[in-house]
Structure 1
């Protein structure tokens, strides 16, 4: 408790710039906690689903069951569902729908990260501004009178150092959060692209096999027709 009280007492000597810096710190914490909860909920990828998609000739019915178990908020389920629901369409159509869904997922995952990026840049600058005002206050005390009050000079220097330290601390905290979420988002999107290619390849194989079966049926029908015509003669 004493250390916490001393910390608040020290912040009071940081000058007016401490308050907007604290606001930026609270905003950064809220965004980090919100994104952490959202990423934990949306980017859950069961090993069974990954193994199923990597399997050659998997069953679409089994994939549907796996996606239902993830729920509608899961980002992987949303992306794979956009492909699975359109598997009867041409492959180029499926790729277009998958790209649109991936864009929506990227926007959802990146919501609020621009604020963290802004805080990374703004917090040190605001701390620097507090440093300048604190040093100006100290120099004003030194040059304003023949007798220098040590406590007033110390207060100005303390204001400069506290504002700088607080701005750097908030910027570092926001930077770590921004880099972590950006890296996690990039990894998830890369995995979606790779696994989506597996699903689209499966769709192409299904369409090719159906097309080959249709051609074989036509050939068999034409042979039967020629045979019947020859018999009638």
Structure 2
């Protein structure tokens, strides 16, 4: 209870600049929770799907379709698997173009909101700096021609500047770690999708070569 009271007191001390900083903090937390759920739910990586060598041709339809069918509808690997399903009779070049388009859509969907998180990393310290300037200006205004007029007001202005700076840095550091983590997670996901697509593409080419040799 005392910690909560102290937090509220610090918020009041920080002045009006705490309102936009609080909005940025809530936005950052919302984006982090949302992206954490999305990556956990729709970026899972079944071991069989990430085999870099071509899948065995015997029983390909059953094994591959079963592995993909067990994934959520919005799972990145299930979406990427659409051009490579065995029942598709599209030419290889069309499948490859479709896979590239799907990969771009997945990257856009999985990275949604990260630009705002990156903006918060920059904006939060700047708002904290603005709070510092406002607090120091408030303190300097209390100096009159006859010296210090209100010592309590000066210390209040200094406290306001320090609190605003501290909160701005806390929000920025929190958002920075989250942004770097999700950016790296997205980059790894796209690499895994590329490996998956390349394995399927190589397999289809081997199948075409085998058909050509039989002819």
Per the normalisation by structure 2, the TM-score is: 0.93
Look up the SS of the partner of 1:33 in the other structure.
helix
Following superposition of structure 1 onto structure 2, how do residues 107-186 of structure 1 map, counting pairs within 5 Å? 107-143=108-144, 146-186=147-187
**Shift in Å at residue 80 of structure 1?**
1.8
Measured at CA, do residues 194 and 158 of structure 1 come closer, stay the same or move farther in structure 2, by a change above 3 Å? same
Q: Greater shift after overlay, 70-79 or 118-127?
A: 70-79
Look up the SS of the partner of 2:44 in the other structure.
coil
2:64 aligns with 63
The runs of 5 or more residues in structure 2 that have no matched partner are: none
RMSD: 1.7
**Shift in Å at residue 109 of structure 1?**
0.4
1:50 aligns with 50
Matched residues in 1 for 2:148 and 2:94: separation? 81
Counting helix residues as a fraction of each chain, which structure ranks higher? 1
2:35 counterpart of 1:23: no
2:212 counterpart of 1:208: no
Does the CA contact (< 8 Å) of 1:138 and 1:153 recur in 2?
yes
Q: Which has the higher contact order (CA 8 A, sep 6+)?
A: 2
Total equivalences in the alignment: 213
Measured at CA, do residues 171 and 25 of structure 1 come closer, stay the same or move farther in structure 2, by a change above 3 Å? same
Look up the SS of the partner of 2:74 in the other structure.
coil
Look up the SS of the partner of 1:50 in the other structure.
coil
Measured at CA, do residues 153 and 36 of structure 1 come closer, stay the same or move farther in structure 2, by a change above 3 Å? same
Matched residues in 2 for 1:108 and 1:68: separation? 21
Measured at CA, do residues 121 and 14 of structure 1 come closer, stay the same or move farther in structure 2, by a change above 3 Å? same
**Shift in Å at residue 85 of structure 1?**
5.8
Matched residues in 2 for 1:154 and 1:3: separation? 22
2:10 aligns with 10
Does the CA contact (< 8 Å) of 1:130 and 1:163 recur in 2?
yes
